[in-house]
Amino acid sequence: MENPYMLRALELATLGRGHVSPNPMVGCVIVHDRKGQVSPPFGRIIGEGWHERYGEAHAERNAIRSVRPEDAHLLAESTAYVTLEPCSHYGKQPPCADLLIERTIGRVVCCNDDPNPLVAGQGFARLRAAGIQVETGILNAYGRQVNARFFTFFEKKRPYIILKWAETTDGFMGGEGGKPVKISGDLSHRLVHRWRSEEDAIMVGTQTARNDNPRLNTRLWPGKNPVRIVFDRNLTLPLDLHLFDGSQPTIVYHEVERMKEQTGVPDRSEIRQIQPIYAITSSLHYTVQDLYQRNIQSVLVEGGATLLQSFIDERLWDEMRVFRSPSLLGKGVKAPVVQGALVSREQIGEDELSMYQPTTEPGP
């Protein structure tokens, strides 16, 4: 039987999606279970919490805060079900391991070890040294799925990469000559804006930036705007594009050793509130390594076809999300060739959304 308390803790953890990066999503459930039982009616939940926002209290602290004063004496006979190893270092918040020791929690049951070198087993060691019973690996695979971005970042030293596009029934994602064509429906469009709010960055190629002039923000969904990333290998994109409006951080990858003077164009710093970061690149692998150094844990790649296919060819992706609309184009820009294992399929308005994962281990 799956542990219901850990399932609840994982459910709570996901409430932090889009708000806690670069921290992991963490949930905590405190159960008074004097006899050590793991399922109702033997246990009673006396506290719950999750990491709600980066820089603010962690899940364990929020869970303990939620315990009613009349139940505080039960902590010594209670189990804290936590989805990730309690931290053991000072960051924006004090160590959660120390808090659990201070409040004399009776037992800690955990889903995943923390791969962050600042923790990496030290939280568990500190709890055990204080005489607290620790059990690990409960619903481990599920926990890794919830925090796939966090684990990819620390274990593979790169961001978690999501490829997304919309295509017609006959396999086109753009009109002739790259002309923008509305393919997916309004409901799908709104869902994409929610996805944007959940990832650290969003990436497009030169032709998509030029032809579509996208904003790449979350105007259709409440939430933070991602960092915008664009490839402009020869620095030819016009400066009046939405990408350069200064409304959110933007990184431009190029292959020009020295930026050339642009006659008649105002100084870049004068036309942007947030001046773009220009970085020289030579390959996709170099780019994702640079993003790793910038502490970007996840990237939503929205196109165009050439950029998406490049990621596919390099086996440099973790998730693929493809909308298929009932419309037909007959000709235009062909969509990338889907590779990978189908994970799920659902209807979003008139569109069909298919999710894929790599059939082989993604690239480094």
For residues 98 and 94, give the distance between their C-alpha atoms in angstroms, rounded to a whole number. Answer: 8
Tell which residue, 141, 92, 138, has the closest CA to residue 118.
92
The dihedral sign for the CA sequence 147, 18, 59, 126: positive
Tokens matching residue 94: 């004090």
Catalytic residue, chosen from 48, 60, 85, 167, is 60
Contact in structure between 167 and 322 (CB atoms under 8 Å): yes
Active-site annotation holds for 60? yes
Which neighbouring-strand residues pair with 347?
352
Tokens matching residue 9: 């803790």
352-362: burial string, b at 16+ Cβ within 10 Å, e else: bbbbbebeeeb
Q: Which secondary structure element, helix H or strand E, spans residue 341, and what is its range?
A: strand 341-348
Contact in structure between 238 and 206 (CB atoms under 8 Å): no
The dihedral sign for the CA sequence 268, 196, 156, 204: negative
For residues 222 and 261, give the distance between their C-alpha atoms in angstroms, rounded to a whole number. Answer: 39
DSSP secondary structure letters along 105-144: -SEEEEEE---STTTTTHHHHHHHHTT-EEE--TTHHHHH
Contacts of 67 (CB under 8 A, 6+ apart): 30, 46, 47, 74, 75
Q: For the chain, what percentages of helix, strand and coil (3-state, to nearest 5) are there?
A: 30, 25, 45
Tokens matching residue 127: 């709890």
Q: Is 310 helix (H, G, I), strand (E, B) or coil?
A: helix
For residues 137 and 83, give the distance between their C-alpha atoms in angstroms, rounded to a whole number. Answer: 9
Residues labelled catalytic: 60
